[in-house]
Chain A
Amino acid sequence: MLLVKTSVKPSKIHGLGLFADEKIPKGTVVWEFDPKFDLVFSEKEVGKMSEIEQNLIHKFAYFSKRLRKYVYCADGTRFMNHSNTPNTDSVNFSNKQENCDVANKDIEAGEEITVNYRDIDAYDEKSKEPYLNG
Protein backbone atom coordinates (compact mmCIF):
# COMPACT_ATOMS: atom_id res chain seq x y z
CA MET A 1 0.00 0.00 0.00
CA LEU A 2 1.50 3.28 -1.10
CA LEU A 3 2.01 5.83 1.68
CA VAL A 4 2.85 8.81 -0.54
CA LYS A 5 0.88 10.73 -3.17
CA THR A 6 1.39 9.21 -6.60
CA SER A 7 -0.22 8.89 -9.99
CA VAL A 8 0.02 6.35 -12.79
CA LYS A 9 1.15 7.85 -16.11
CA PRO A 10 2.87 6.77 -19.32
CA SER A 11 6.55 6.00 -18.62
CA LYS A 12 9.70 6.40 -20.69
CA ILE A 13 10.97 3.14 -19.17
CA HIS A 14 8.07 0.88 -20.11
CA GLY A 15 4.32 1.25 -20.62
CA LEU A 16 2.84 2.90 -17.58
CA GLY A 17 4.82 3.90 -14.53
CA LEU A 18 4.28 5.24 -11.04
CA PHE A 19 5.13 8.92 -10.50
CA ALA A 20 5.55 11.00 -7.34
CA ASP A 21 2.84 13.66 -6.90
CA GLU A 22 4.76 15.23 -4.02
CA LYS A 23 8.38 15.67 -2.96
CA ILE A 24 9.50 12.53 -1.14
CA PRO A 25 12.50 13.08 1.17
CA LYS A 26 15.23 10.44 1.32
CA GLY A 27 14.39 7.80 3.96
CA THR A 28 10.60 8.08 3.53
CA VAL A 29 8.75 4.75 3.57
CA VAL A 30 7.02 4.85 0.18
CA TRP A 31 5.25 1.48 0.45
CA GLU A 32 4.34 -0.84 3.27
CA PHE A 33 2.60 -4.23 3.09
CA ASP A 34 -1.13 -3.92 3.87
CA PRO A 35 -3.01 -7.25 3.73
CA LYS A 36 -6.24 -5.39 2.92
CA PHE A 37 -4.90 -4.21 -0.44
CA ASP A 38 -1.83 -6.31 -1.12
CA LEU A 39 -3.14 -9.73 -2.10
CA VAL A 40 -0.97 -12.74 -1.28
CA PHE A 41 -1.16 -16.00 -3.23
CA SER A 42 0.83 -19.20 -2.97
CA GLU A 43 2.19 -20.77 -6.14
CA LYS A 44 -0.45 -23.49 -5.73
CA GLU A 45 -3.25 -20.90 -5.56
CA VAL A 46 -1.96 -19.14 -8.67
CA GLY A 47 -1.79 -22.51 -10.44
CA LYS A 48 -5.53 -22.94 -9.93
CA MET A 49 -6.42 -19.53 -11.40
CA SER A 50 -7.73 -18.95 -14.91
CA GLU A 51 -5.18 -18.21 -17.64
CA ILE A 52 -6.10 -14.50 -17.70
CA GLU A 53 -5.70 -14.25 -13.93
CA GLN A 54 -2.36 -16.08 -14.03
CA ASN A 55 -1.11 -13.72 -16.75
CA LEU A 56 -2.02 -10.73 -14.59
CA ILE A 57 -0.23 -12.24 -11.59
CA HIS A 58 2.90 -12.89 -13.63
CA LYS A 59 2.86 -9.40 -15.13
CA PHE A 60 1.98 -7.34 -12.06
CA ALA A 61 2.75 -9.34 -8.91
CA TYR A 62 6.16 -9.97 -7.42
CA PHE A 63 7.30 -13.22 -5.85
CA SER A 64 8.39 -12.09 -2.41
CA LYS A 65 11.76 -13.33 -1.24
CA ARG A 66 10.61 -12.96 2.33
CA LEU A 67 7.05 -14.37 2.14
CA ARG A 68 7.86 -16.94 -0.59
CA LYS A 69 4.49 -16.04 -2.12
CA TYR A 70 3.16 -13.80 -4.87
CA VAL A 71 2.14 -10.31 -3.76
CA TYR A 72 -0.30 -8.44 -6.01
CA CYS A 73 -0.62 -4.79 -5.02
CA ALA A 74 -4.16 -3.63 -5.79
CA ASP A 75 -3.09 0.03 -5.82
CA GLY A 76 -0.73 1.87 -8.17
CA THR A 77 2.31 0.02 -6.83
CA ARG A 78 1.89 -2.66 -9.48
CA PHE A 79 2.90 -0.10 -12.11
CA MET A 80 6.30 0.57 -10.51
CA ASN A 81 8.99 -0.03 -13.14
CA HIS A 82 12.42 -1.62 -12.75
CA SER A 83 15.63 0.36 -12.73
CA ASN A 84 19.22 -0.68 -12.14
CA THR A 85 19.66 2.72 -10.48
CA PRO A 86 16.35 2.93 -8.62
CA ASN A 87 15.28 5.74 -6.30
CA THR A 88 13.73 3.33 -3.77
CA ASP A 89 15.11 0.27 -2.00
CA SER A 90 13.50 -2.76 -0.40
CA VAL A 91 14.31 -2.60 3.32
CA ASN A 92 13.84 -5.37 5.88
CA PHE A 93 12.41 -3.99 9.13
CA SER A 94 12.26 -6.87 11.61
CA ASN A 95 8.95 -5.63 13.10
CA LYS A 96 7.17 -5.81 9.71
CA GLN A 97 5.97 -8.98 8.03
CA GLU A 98 7.18 -7.85 4.60
CA ASN A 99 9.97 -5.55 3.42
CA CYS A 100 9.10 -1.88 3.02
CA ASP A 101 10.07 0.26 0.05
CA VAL A 102 12.11 3.30 1.10
CA ALA A 103 13.29 6.35 -0.86
CA ASN A 104 17.09 6.13 -1.21
CA LYS A 105 17.32 9.79 -2.30
CA ASP A 106 15.10 12.84 -2.44
CA ILE A 107 12.46 12.21 -5.09
CA GLU A 108 10.97 15.29 -6.74
CA ALA A 109 7.27 15.68 -7.57
CA GLY A 110 6.79 14.41 -11.13
CA GLU A 111 9.72 11.96 -10.95
CA GLU A 112 9.10 8.30 -11.73
CA ILE A 113 9.41 5.97 -8.72
CA THR A 114 11.47 2.86 -9.47
CA VAL A 115 12.85 -0.19 -7.70
CA ASN A 116 15.34 -2.89 -8.64
CA TYR A 117 13.15 -5.94 -9.32
CA ARG A 118 16.07 -8.23 -8.54
CA ASP A 119 15.97 -6.98 -4.95
CA ILE A 120 12.30 -7.74 -4.37
CA ASP A 121 11.41 -10.66 -6.64
CA ALA A 122 12.90 -14.10 -6.06
CA TYR A 123 12.32 -15.05 -9.70
CA ASP A 124 13.71 -11.81 -11.12
CA GLU A 125 16.83 -12.17 -8.98
CA LYS A 126 18.33 -14.78 -11.30
CA SER A 127 16.33 -13.91 -14.41
CA LYS A 128 18.17 -13.34 -17.69
CA GLU A 129 15.48 -10.97 -19.00
CA PRO A 130 17.39 -8.25 -20.94
CA TYR A 131 15.45 -5.36 -19.38
CA LEU A 132 16.73 -6.33 -15.94
CA ASN A 133 20.30 -5.83 -17.12
CA GLY A 134 19.76 -2.73 -19.25
Chain B
Amino acid sequence: MLLVKTIVKQSPIHGLGLFANQNISKGDMIWKFSDGLDLEISPVEFSNLSSYEKGMINFYGFHSKKTGNYHLSFDDVRFVNHSPEGNITIDKSIDDIEYPLVAKRDISKGEEITQNYYEFDESHSL
Protein backbone atom coordinates (compact mmCIF):
# COMPACT_ATOMS: atom_id res chain seq x y z
CA MET B 1 0.00 0.00 0.00
CA LEU B 2 1.37 3.41 -0.98
CA LEU B 3 2.07 5.66 2.01
CA VAL B 4 2.75 8.88 0.09
CA LYS B 5 0.57 11.03 -2.16
CA THR B 6 0.88 9.95 -5.77
CA ILE B 7 -0.87 10.36 -9.09
CA VAL B 8 -0.97 8.08 -12.15
CA LYS B 9 -0.23 9.82 -15.45
CA GLN B 10 1.18 9.13 -18.87
CA SER B 11 4.88 8.42 -18.54
CA PRO B 12 7.76 9.24 -20.90
CA ILE B 13 9.19 5.81 -19.94
CA HIS B 14 6.23 3.56 -20.78
CA GLY B 15 2.44 3.82 -20.80
CA LEU B 16 1.26 5.09 -17.44
CA GLY B 17 3.60 5.81 -14.56
CA LEU B 18 3.36 6.72 -10.90
CA PHE B 19 4.33 10.30 -10.00
CA ALA B 20 5.00 11.90 -6.62
CA ASN B 21 2.22 14.30 -5.62
CA GLN B 22 4.21 15.60 -2.67
CA ASN B 23 7.87 16.14 -1.88
CA ILE B 24 9.42 12.92 -0.56
CA SER B 25 12.61 12.87 1.52
CA LYS B 26 15.41 10.35 1.20
CA GLY B 27 14.64 7.38 3.47
CA ASP B 28 10.88 7.96 3.58
CA MET B 29 8.84 4.78 3.40
CA ILE B 30 6.87 4.78 0.14
CA TRP B 31 5.08 1.44 0.32
CA LYS B 32 4.50 -1.43 2.69
CA PHE B 33 2.74 -4.76 2.34
CA SER B 34 -0.96 -4.60 3.15
CA ASP B 35 -2.28 -7.91 4.46
CA GLY B 36 -5.64 -8.91 3.00
CA LEU B 37 -5.43 -6.35 0.18
CA ASP B 38 -2.17 -7.13 -1.59
CA LEU B 39 -2.44 -10.54 -3.22
CA GLU B 40 0.18 -13.26 -2.71
CA ILE B 41 -0.33 -16.18 -5.07
CA SER B 42 1.68 -19.41 -4.63
CA PRO B 43 3.38 -20.98 -7.68
CA VAL B 44 0.82 -23.83 -7.53
CA GLU B 45 -2.12 -21.40 -7.49
CA PHE B 46 -0.46 -19.42 -10.28
CA SER B 47 -0.10 -22.52 -12.46
CA ASN B 48 -3.86 -23.11 -12.17
CA LEU B 49 -4.80 -19.60 -13.35
CA SER B 50 -6.08 -18.88 -16.84
CA SER B 51 -3.64 -17.43 -19.36
CA TYR B 52 -5.55 -14.14 -19.06
CA GLU B 53 -5.10 -14.06 -15.28
CA LYS B 54 -1.41 -15.01 -15.59
CA GLY B 55 -0.97 -12.23 -18.15
CA MET B 56 -2.43 -9.67 -15.78
CA ILE B 57 -0.12 -10.74 -12.95
CA ASN B 58 2.92 -10.74 -15.22
CA PHE B 59 2.04 -7.23 -16.43
CA TYR B 60 0.95 -5.57 -13.19
CA GLY B 61 2.45 -7.88 -10.56
CA PHE B 62 5.74 -9.66 -10.11
CA HIS B 63 7.31 -13.00 -9.19
CA SER B 64 8.80 -12.25 -5.81
CA LYS B 65 12.48 -13.03 -5.28
CA LYS B 66 11.80 -12.91 -1.54
CA THR B 67 8.87 -15.31 -1.24
CA GLY B 68 8.85 -17.24 -4.51
CA ASN B 69 5.17 -16.26 -4.74
CA TYR B 70 3.50 -14.12 -7.34
CA HIS B 71 2.47 -10.73 -6.00
CA LEU B 72 -0.24 -8.35 -7.18
CA SER B 73 -0.58 -5.04 -5.35
CA PHE B 74 -4.12 -3.78 -5.07
CA ASP B 75 -3.28 -0.10 -5.39
CA ASP B 76 -1.43 2.15 -7.86
CA VAL B 77 2.09 0.99 -6.94
CA ARG B 78 1.65 -1.40 -9.87
CA PHE B 79 2.17 1.57 -12.21
CA VAL B 80 5.78 2.13 -11.06
CA ASN B 81 7.99 1.90 -14.15
CA HIS B 82 11.42 0.33 -14.34
CA SER B 83 14.58 2.39 -14.33
CA PRO B 84 18.10 1.02 -13.81
CA GLU B 85 18.80 3.88 -11.39
CA GLY B 86 15.38 3.87 -9.68
CA ASN B 87 14.63 6.53 -7.04
CA ILE B 88 13.03 3.98 -4.67
CA THR B 89 14.41 0.68 -3.42
CA ILE B 90 13.56 -2.26 -1.15
CA ASP B 91 14.54 -1.93 2.51
CA LYS B 92 15.82 -5.32 3.65
CA SER B 93 16.35 -4.09 7.22
CA ILE B 94 12.60 -4.34 7.85
CA ASP B 95 11.20 -7.84 7.45
CA ASP B 96 7.65 -8.25 6.19
CA ILE B 97 5.89 -10.57 3.73
CA GLU B 98 7.33 -8.32 1.03
CA TYR B 99 10.09 -5.81 1.86
CA PRO B 100 8.93 -2.19 2.21
CA LEU B 101 10.01 0.40 -0.37
CA VAL B 102 11.90 3.56 0.60
CA ALA B 103 13.15 6.65 -1.24
CA LYS B 104 16.82 6.34 -2.28
CA ARG B 105 17.07 10.12 -2.57
CA ASP B 106 14.85 13.19 -2.25
CA ILE B 107 12.01 13.01 -4.80
CA SER B 108 10.30 16.24 -5.83
CA LYS B 109 6.56 16.64 -6.30
CA GLY B 110 5.80 15.87 -9.96
CA GLU B 111 8.76 13.54 -10.45
CA GLU B 112 8.12 10.01 -11.69
CA ILE B 113 8.71 7.28 -9.11
CA THR B 114 10.82 4.44 -10.53
CA GLN B 115 12.42 1.25 -9.31
CA ASN B 116 14.89 -1.24 -10.70
CA TYR B 117 12.73 -4.31 -11.34
CA TYR B 118 15.78 -6.60 -11.10
CA GLU B 119 15.93 -6.14 -7.33
CA PHE B 120 12.58 -7.78 -6.59
CA ASP B 121 11.27 -9.66 -9.63
CA GLU B 122 12.39 -13.24 -10.26
CA SER B 123 11.45 -12.92 -13.94
CA HIS B 124 13.90 -10.00 -14.24
CA SER B 125 17.14 -11.84 -13.49
CA LEU B 126 20.60 -10.90 -14.66
Chain A positions near chain B (C-beta within 8 angstroms): 1, 3, 7-10, 16, 34, 36-37, 39, 45, 49-50, 52-53, 56, 72, 74-75
Please pick, from B49, B53, B74, the residue contacting A39 in the complex, using a CB distance under 8 A: B74
Contact of B37 among A7, A8, A53 (CB under 8 A): A53
B16 near A56: Cβ-Cβ < 8 Å: no
CA distance A72 to B38 in the complex (A): 11
Known interface pairs A10-B10, A16-B8, A56-B74. Does A75 touch B2 (Cβ–Cβ under 8 Å)? no
Give every chain B residue within 8 A of A8 (Cβ-Cβ). Answer: 16
Inter-subunit contact A74/B3 (CB<8 Å): no
Categorize the interface residue count of chain B: 20 to 34
Q: What is the CB-to-nearest-CB distance from A93 to chain B, in angstroms, rounded to a whole number?
A: 20
A5 to chain B, nearest CB (A): 9
Q: Is the interface of A mostly helix, strand, loop or mixed?
A: mixed
Determine how close the nearest CB of chain A comes to the CB of B37; give it in whole angstroms: 6
B75 near A: Cβ within 8 Å? yes
- Is B20 in the interface zone, CB < 8 Å from A? no
Q: Given the interface contacts A10-B9, A16-B16, A36-B49, does A74 sit within 8 Å of B72 by beta carbon?
A: yes
Q: How far is the CA of A16 from the CA of B11 in the complex (A)?
A: 13
Do A53 and B1 have beta carbons less than 8 Å apart?
Answer: yes
- Cβ of B34 within 8 Å of any chain A Cβ, yes or no, is yes
CA–CA, A49 and B56, complex, Å: 26
Q: Which residue of A lies closest to B49 (CB)?
A: A36
Q: Mark B33-57, 1 if CB is under 8 A from A, else 0.
A: 0101101010000000100110010
Q: How far is the CA of A1 from the CA of B39 in the complex (A)?
A: 14
CB distance from B94 to the nearest CB of A (A): 17
Contact A72 B16 (CB under 8 A): no
A74 to B36, CA, bound (A): 12
Question: Is there an interface contact between B53 and A36, defined as CB atoms closer than 8 Å?
Answer: yes
Residue in contact with B74 in the complex, picked from A1, A50, A74, CB distance below 8 Å: A74
Q: Are B34 and A53 within 8 A (Cβ)?
A: yes
Q: Which residues of A contact B36 (CB under 8 A)?
A: 39, 45
Per-residue interface assignment for chain B, residues 68 to 83, with 1 indicating a CB less than 8 Å from any chain A CB and 0 otherwise? 0000101100000000
B10 touches A37 (CB 8 A): no
Contact partners of B49 in chain A: CB under 8 A = 36
Measured between beta carbons, the chain A residues less than 8 angstroms from B60 are 75
